[in-house]
């Protein structure tokens, strides 16, 4: 399915993304241990607006743990995460939930509500932004939410399937809907954990193009964990390489060498 042109703030129903311009993600010195397993050993990175950043690293090196610590779904043992300029470690309860909305998360396991339509699922992306009383009745989303969700579906080239139940979508289509839902959240940052791992090469290419488009045309900061170095090298502006809980390189994609990529996975061959 072809990628739709960016609508961005140039289209009148599209809400302002001014907050996106002020809200990069800055992670500094994150340590995280599970029992005796020291998973993150002082990880730091910065996600700029308008940037697609890929994180590469072998299974178990701590990528997903890092994403969870970044938005404090997990409490790090040390270090800080600033999202939208706010230090999440200083927040709790409602304040933390509000601050966390600046990051939309797209997981590998596409968590759509199976029986509900693509449009309903995307509307759910805005649930955090409408009063709780109204959010309890997803069948009756406010008009402005439906309007925004429609724009989001158009944005990912899925408007023609708005009424199709999520359980009948292909993997690539469902991932697009999940990204539309993240877009509908009006977050300034998208964190995607292996968003293309279940997709065929062409669908993976399209989803990566879409993520790049959201960064470059909409000014979002997009951080994605990948297991496909070739996709990272072709699509990402910058690549962070992780190895056993540490960042071993962080540089623009064109500067990353095949040797550096190989070294990330070296121990897999040695064991």
Kind and range of the H or E element at 171?
helix 171-184
Q: Binding of ligand ATP at residue 226 (CB under 6 A)?
A: no
Q: Binding of ligand ATP at residue 37 (CB under 6 A)?
A: yes
β-bridge mates for residue 32, sequence order: 40
Rg over CA atoms, the chain:
18
Q: Is the CB of 193 or the CB of 213 nearer to ligand ATP?
A: 193
Binds ligand ATP (CB under 6 A): choice among 4, 9, 64, 135: 64
Q: Is the CB of 61 or the CB of 103 nearer to ligand ATP?
A: 61
Q: Are the C-beta atoms of residues 211 and 195 closer than 8 Å to each other?
A: yes
Residue 206: alpha-carbon gap to chain centroid:
15
Binds ligand ATP (CB under 6 A): choice among 24, 62, 76, 84: 62
CB of 76 to ligand ATP, least distance (A): 12
Q: Binding of ligand ATP at residue 228 (CB under 6 A)?
A: no
Binds ligand ATP (CB under 6 A): choice among 23, 25, 30, 39: 39
Q: What residue 59 binds from Mg ion, ligand ATP, none (CB within 5 to 8 A, per partner kind)?
A: ligand ATP
Among all chains, which residue has been given the structure tokens 């779904």?
Answer: 73
Residue 89: alpha-carbon gap to chain centroid:
21
Binds Mg ion (CB under 5 A): choice among 19, 38, 64, 147: 64
Binds ligand ATP (CB under 6 A): choice among 1, 5, 13, 34: 34
CA torsion, ordered 119, 123, 125, 130, to nearest 10 deg: 180
CB of 66 to ligand ATP, least distance (A): 7
Q: Binding of ligand ATP at residue 268 (CB under 6 A)?
A: no
The length of the chain is 271
d(CA 130, CA 133): 8
Q: Binding of ligand ATP at residue 65 (CB under 6 A)?
A: yes
Q: DSSP 3-state assignment of 83?
A: strand
Q: Are the C-beta atoms of residues 198 and 108 closer than 8 Å to each other?
A: yes
What's the token pair of residue 112?
Answer: 């759509």
Q: Is the CB of 36 or the CB of 139 nearer to ligand ATP?
A: 36
DSSP 216-251: HHH--EEEEEES-HHHHHHH-SEEEEEETTEEEEEE
Q: Binding of ligand ATP at residue 182 (CB under 6 A)?
A: no
Q: What residue 61 binds from ligand ATP, Mg ion, none (CB within 5 to 8 A, per partner kind)?
A: ligand ATP
Q: Binding of ligand ATP at residue 172 (CB under 6 A)?
A: no
Q: Binding of Mg ion at residue 197 (CB under 5 A)?
A: no
Site residues (vs Mg ion, CB under 5 A): 64
Positions in the binding site for ligand ATP (CB under 6 A) = 34, 37, 39, 57, 59-65
């Amino acid at each position: 399915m072809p990628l739709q042109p960016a609508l961005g703030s140039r289209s009148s129903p599209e809400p302002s993304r001014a907050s996106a311009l002020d809200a990069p993600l800055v992670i500094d010195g994150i340590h995280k241990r599970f029992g005796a397993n020291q998973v993150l050993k002082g990880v730091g990175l910065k996600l700029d607006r308008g940037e697609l950043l890929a994180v590469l690293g072998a299974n178990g090196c701590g990528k997903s743990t890092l994403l969870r610590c970044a938005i404090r779904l997990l409490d790090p043992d040390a270090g800080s995460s600033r999202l939208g300029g706010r230090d999440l470690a200083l927040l709790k309860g409602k304040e933390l939930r509000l601050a966390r909305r600046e990051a939309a998360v797209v997981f590998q396991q596409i968590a759509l509500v199976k029986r509900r339509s693509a449009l309903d699922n995307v509307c759910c992306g805005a649930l955090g932004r409408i009063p709780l009383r109204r959010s309890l009745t997803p069948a009756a989303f406010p008009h402005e939410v439906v309007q925004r969700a429609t724009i989001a579906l158009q944005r990912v080239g899925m408007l023609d399937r708005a009424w199709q139940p999520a359980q009948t979508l292909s993997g690539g289509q469902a991932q697009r809907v999940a990204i539309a839902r993240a877009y509908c959240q009006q977050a300034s940052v998208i964190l995607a954990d292996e968003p293309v791992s279940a997709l065929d090469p062409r669908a993976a290419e399209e989803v990566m193009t879409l993520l790049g488009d959201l960064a470059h045309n909409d000014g979002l900061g997009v951080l994605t964990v990948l297991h496909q170095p070739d996709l990272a090298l072709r699509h990402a502006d910058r690549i962070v390489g992780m190895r056993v809980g540490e960042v071993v390189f962080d540089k623009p994609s064109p500067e990353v060498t095949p040797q550096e990529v190989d070294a990330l996975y070296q121990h897999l061959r040695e064991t």
